[in-house]
Chains A and B, each alone.
Chain A
Amino acid sequence: MLLLLLGIVFLHVAALVLLFVSTITSVWTTGNIGTSDLWLNCTSVGGLQCNPASAGEWIQAVQAVMILSIIFSCISLILFFCQLFTLQKGGRFLLTGVFQILAGLFVMCGGIIYTVMSPNWVPETESFGYSYILAWVAFPLALISGVIYVILRKRE
């Protein structure tokens, strides 16, 4: 039981860390000019110079959705530890799983919105950066850990 618990918590924390890194580092697009999105456009020509990201509507939606996914994943972690000590034997970590699945869905929304809408402001020569890839990796991790929470039953 303890090993299972540790494994699940490790998976959850891994998804959370990926979410944090993906949201905080502004490297959703990389190219010759520099890196840009989610929060800053940085050019490395003649020393690093960063400006706030283009204030369009879609980039703000992606920002909001990524922050919401982090919030929901943190709430899910807190709820897990609460339910670990208050749940009866044989009970399911339903609430924890629901919040984690919602967090995964929010990351998915963010990834989809960015993929579909970014060609509007990103030139063709630029490619997706590592933050974007980390967001897409965090999505299945969050989803799987959420499903595990829903299926898991508490044993003594």
Chain B
Amino acid sequence: MLTFLALAAVAFLGIVPQQSQSIVIYTGWERHALVGSDVRLSCSFFSWRWTSDDVTFSWTYRPDGSRDSISIFHYTGGAAYLDNKGPFRDRVEFVGNPGRRDGSIVLKNLDFNDNGTFTCDAKNPPDIVGRPSSVRLLVFETVPIQAGVITGAIIGVVLGLLVLIVVIYYLMRFLVARRVFNLSVSKHGKKKKEGSQQRQGPAASAEPAKASSDKKKQESRKDKK
């Protein structure tokens, strides 16, 4: 009974994905770049099938404010075909690895007219049902500071200063207390030496008594602490 159920589950799982499997394409969401620089638009896909030899990648470009798309790159049959007439003539380079499902391209020498949406469509026969994915390109004169960098920096610096001040305060207190303790110990030691030098003769019997009284004093000090 259990083996029958297990076989049925495996068969079911084998049947169902064939109807619901589709290719899933990943590109970035947005890319920021400076005028005159290069930008890499990455595109990869996920598919239940092995990467076939007939895998295709194609990139289309839709300028901001326009409704028409123009094709700028196509890879098929093991060869890449770059834009040779459109807005990206001689500015596109294929840097992807179709064997590893990577269909990335590099756009060179960007200008403000290149602002727009780039769509990547990949097909992995027989897995051809999928939704193309788009990445927006934003070209800046100067790269704006990311939201939150300065905020975090200011907060971090002030809190760090606060922690530093607290640590230094407690360190100073500890050092001063240790110095005071050392001074008092050395004073007590000096007094002991002077006292023993003055009364060496008649104090032969008094010394053990004095030593025991000193020991008692130290013990009482330790108790107080």
Contact = CB atoms under 8 A, between A and B. Distances in A.
Interface string A8-22: 000000000000000
A68 B158 contact: yes
Contacts of B150: 57, 60-61, 64
A68 B147 contact: no
B159 interface: yes
Interface residues of A, number: 12
A60 B144 contact: no
Interface in A44-59: 52-53, 55, 57
Contacts of A67: 151, 155
A52 B151 contact: no
B159 A60 contact: no
A57 B155 contact: no
Contacts, number: 34
Contacts of A52: 147
A61 B145 CA distance: 12
B157 to A, nearest CB: 9
B9 interface: no
B147 A64 contact: no
B144 A55 contact: yes
Interface string A61-82: 1011101100100000000000
A110 to B, nearest CB: 11
B155 A68 contact: yes
B159 A71 contact: yes
A71 to B, nearest CB: 7
Nearest to B153: A64
A64 B154 contact: yes
Contacts of B154: 60-61, 64-65, 68
A70 to B, nearest CB: 11
Contacts of B155: 64, 67-68, 71
Contacts of A60: 145, 147-151, 154
Given A52-B147, A53-B147, A67-B151, 18 more contacts: A55-B146, A55-B147, A57-B150, A60-B147, A60-B148, A60-B154, A61-B150, A64-B150, A64-B152, A64-B153, A64-B155, A65-B154, A67-B155, A68-B154, A68-B155, A68-B158, A68-B159, A71-B159
18 contacts: A52-B147, A53-B147, A55-B144, A55-B145, A55-B147, A57-B145, A60-B147, A60-B150, A60-B154, A61-B150, A64-B152, A64-B154, A64-B155, A67-B155, A68-B154, A68-B155, A71-B155, A71-B159
Interface of A: 52-53, 55, 57, 60-61, 63-65, 67-68, 71
